[in-house]
Structure 1
Amino acid sequence: MLPAAPEFVEVTHRADLDVLLIRWMRKVTLEEMCAGYHYVLERAAEHRCRQWLLDARRRFNTDRDGAHWMITSFLPTLHARLGGRTYLAYLLVPVIMRDVEADAAFPPASFFEGKPFAAERFIDEREAVAWLQEARQQPVA
């Protein structure tokens, strides 16, 4: 049985797209972020869904501590739970894309080469969904 959903994140499985839609409802602490992602992973495992659209426009915070936790602790667990490469499309407000600290916290595209997970940032939801749909065409690794 899944734990109760945290009040700061909404998770919906879009079966028509096979995309997990994750909406962060407000700015979160590092502890809340970690709890939220663990909840998301449980929902993803329930649906065997490896394409995630993360709407972080309300969350409005990206920091080095959170990025470090994602890269070193969380993302490496996805392959074992979900059985293939997981794709994370982050939907952000444009100002985050221009924020030097937030930009430095997000790894460059080369970081994801050969890893069982990939992530990209978007300001347009259609582009994010298109990227995820293209990812679905990749062979399961």
Structure 2
Amino acid sequence: MNPILVQDFLEISYRADLDLLVGRWLRPVELPEMQLGYQLLLDAAQVGSCRRWLLDVRRRQNTHQVGAHWMLTTWLPQLEPRLGGRTRLAYLLAPVYLRDEAADAAFPTLAYFADKPYVAERFTEENAAITWLSA
């Protein structure tokens, strides 16, 4: 799996065997870098119409409220028009982040995604995330 794009804060690669876009955040980021990173991920996914993403945010730290708002109102609505179907986003987090109340408040519940052209879930193990993405 060779990287298709590397920034100092994000590495993007594609797993052809699973038809999976992988984004690995390499360090903590500020909001403008987070926004740029997600736009780069969407651009990379659009090339192959890839709608299954593994997002490794263990080194990035969790999104704050402003970043979560931007994702819900600006970025996520771009997925379906650009990728042509329901996108699955698996977030790989360090276990400590699942205990972060502010992060939990920023991440929508599973019910939020019921009628959306995208769905997201959080994981602490990569194999579990890949299994969910493949379902």
The equivalent of 1:109 in structure 2 is 110
Q: What corresponds to 1:46 in structure 2?
A: 47
Letter in 1 for 2:17: D
Query: Deviations for 1:86-116, whole angstroms, at most 9, x for unmatched residues?
Result: 1100000001000000111000000001100
1:88-99 equivalences in 2 (<5 Å): 88-99=89-100
Measure the CA separation in 1 of the matches of 2:131 and 2:9: 26
Q: Partner residue of 1:27?
A: 28
SS in 1 for 2:40: helix
Matched residue type, 2:111: S
2:10 maps to a residue whose letter is: V
Question: TM-score normalised to the size of structure 1?
Answer: 0.90
Q: Give the number of aligned pairs.
A: 131
Report the Cα distance in structure 2 between the residues aligned to 1:42 and 1:73, rounded to whole angstroms.
Answer: 15
The RMSD of aligned alpha carbons is 0.9
Q: Is the 8 A contact 1:5 1:39 kept in 2?
A: no
Residues in 1 aligned to 2:95 and 2:72: alpha-carbon distance in whole angstroms: 23
2:85 counterpart residue number: 84
Alignment pair present for 1:16 and 2:26:
no
Gaps of 5+ in 1: 135-141
Query: What is the alpha-carbon distance in structure 2 between the residues aligned to residue 59 and residue 118 of structure 1?
Result: 21
Matches of 2:101 and 2:124, distance apart in 1: 16
Structure 2 unaligned spans of 5+: none
Tell me the residue number matched to 1:37: 38
SS in 1 for 2:50: coil
In structure 1, give the amino acid aligned to 2:96: V
Identity of aligned residues (%): 54
So what's the TM-score if we normalise by structure 2? 0.94
What residue identity is the alignment partner of 1:25? L
Answer yes or no: is the 8 Å Cα contact 1:13–1:47 preserved in 2.
Answer: no
Residue 58 of structure 1 is matched in structure 2 by: 59
CA contact 1:25–1:58 (8 Å) conserved in 2: yes
- Work out whether residues 79 and 86 of structure 1, in 8 Å CA contact, stay in contact via their aligned partners in 2: yes
Specify the code of the residue in structure 2 equivalent to 1:20: L
Q: How far apart are 1:5 and its partner, in Å?
A: 4.3
